[in-house]
Structure 1
């Protein structure tokens, strides 16, 4: 039976919803039409923002994140970020020396820190420094460097050189994307470079990420998932994605 365009589009979207992806060659064979026809179908559906084309296949949405100002990002999934921040605060131990990277998730973490004895915090985030500086029981070290206005944080060789002079017990890292194959990413390559140095300087790597970050990619790659010890996220995480992360040896903490 020969399908018309509307019928093909309906079946493509149904398969996409069920499997999480569709491949051009498989659709061509199943529908008995040319590869060119399927590519035109996928292009038409992409223009309607119903899928995203990628290397001979299509997936439900664009996996690449775009950069937004921190004032915009902090409003996205804020309730989830607060719950994640509270859970992260429970990890702190006496005499911890920690790195807090940049991003809205770690800013919420800073707001929810209950000081423990001997806590030292180094951060790239200007907002985080201002928040923690109000507490006399926390020693704060602000990294120097080039200011990224979109994130109110510092990046660059000065920041990276400073990190080489310290050793920390924990790194609390915010990211723009977590992909099973590509690893952790951010939208800015200079920030990704600084985050790599943070990972080298810390004994335990803890990622704070709401569930919208899973399956996404940013422009700058930070590291592979094998370098991560723990991820704290919300209950919106896909169960299959969670199981795959656990299989990689990552401790997953899910907040309700």
Structure 2
């Protein structure tokens, strides 16, 4: 099979399955993975597909900034399962950080504090949600408010964080890519998230399965800086395998 025939075969498989993997294509076409990667690179340059970790897809893996209202309607059932699992990890008399995003907002709605709970958050909607509990002390970070996420970012928020150390950070992300790491659509928010990781004992990422294979504008960190990812059963098997091979604990709900 020549290169043109291979390209036609690859595009046909992509139309049939929606996504393809380098190893599978190599076996089917009886060529090396190096050859397949070169084929995928050429087809991506021609804007016929998008390369992903270990393969390719027809869907654009790069995330865009959406409003909270729009994102809340997406994968709501999956987010509720992830949120309930994360909320159960909050211990009596805990001190935690909750970042921004619709999945961590859903988590805040599932929190039923035992004893006193101290919450540091950049998200105004998270603070309002938790303010209904009598024994929750909330430290709302200050700074420039992002209208799309109802959260703050910037040097004021980062400066306040320097005075605290918490047991857990519950972090929402826009993209999880085995090569690029964890990302969000906003560079300032990514920087604030890194500062949150620095002042926390354990970092727990809350992400529904649509976030895997995606990349946002701002890189938060690599997988060596997080402790656990909580996601739903829709996570692609090859993504789960790749993360576990890197030593990342993945909890599927």
User: Following TM superposition, by how much is the alpha carbon of 1:208 offset from its aligned partner in structure 2, in angstroms?
Assistant: 0.3
With over 3 angstroms needed to count, the CA separation of the structure-2 counterparts of 1:44 and 1:97, relative to structure 1, is: same
Secondary structure, counterpart of 1:107 in structure 2 = helix
| Structure 2: gaps spanning 5 or more residues | 26-31
Secondary structure, counterpart of 2:106 in structure 1 = helix
CA distance in 1, matches of 2:202, 2:44: 43
Among 76, 81, 84, the residue aligned to 1:83 = 81
1:84/1:208 contact within 8 Å kept: yes
TM-score (norm: length of structure 1): 0.84
User: Following TM superposition, by how much is the alpha carbon of 1:2 offset from its aligned partner in structure 2, in angstroms?
Assistant: 7.4
User: Following TM superposition, by how much is the alpha carbon of 1:42 offset from its aligned partner in structure 2, in angstroms?
Assistant: 5.4
Greater CA radius of gyration, 1 or 2? Answer: 1
Report 1:47-126 matches (<5 A).
51-52=49-50, 59-60=56-57, 61-126=59-124
Report 1:164-243 matches (<5 A).
164-243=162-241
User: Following TM superposition, by how much is the alpha carbon of 1:202 offset from its aligned partner in structure 2, in angstroms?
Assistant: 0.4
1:42/1:58 contact within 8 Å kept: no
Report 1:25-64 matches (<5 A).
26=35, 39=42, 46=48, 51-52=49-50, 59-60=56-57, 61-64=59-62
Residue deviations 1:7-48 (CA, integer Å, cap 9, x gap) = 66641224554425989x836999xxxx9xx94x656663xx
2:22/2:36 contact within 8 Å kept: no
TM-score (norm: length of structure 2): 0.85
Secondary structure, counterpart of 2:77 in structure 1 = helix
Secondary structure, counterpart of 1:63 in structure 2 = coil
Secondary structure, counterpart of 1:131 in structure 2 = helix
User: Following TM superposition, by how much is the alpha carbon of 1:238 offset from its aligned partner in structure 2, in angstroms?
Assistant: 1.6
2:20/2:56 contact within 8 Å kept: no
Residue deviations 1:103-143 (CA, integer Å, cap 9, x gap) = 11100001111112121111000000111011112111111
Residue deviations 1:203-235 (CA, integer Å, cap 9, x gap) = 000000001111111000000101110110000
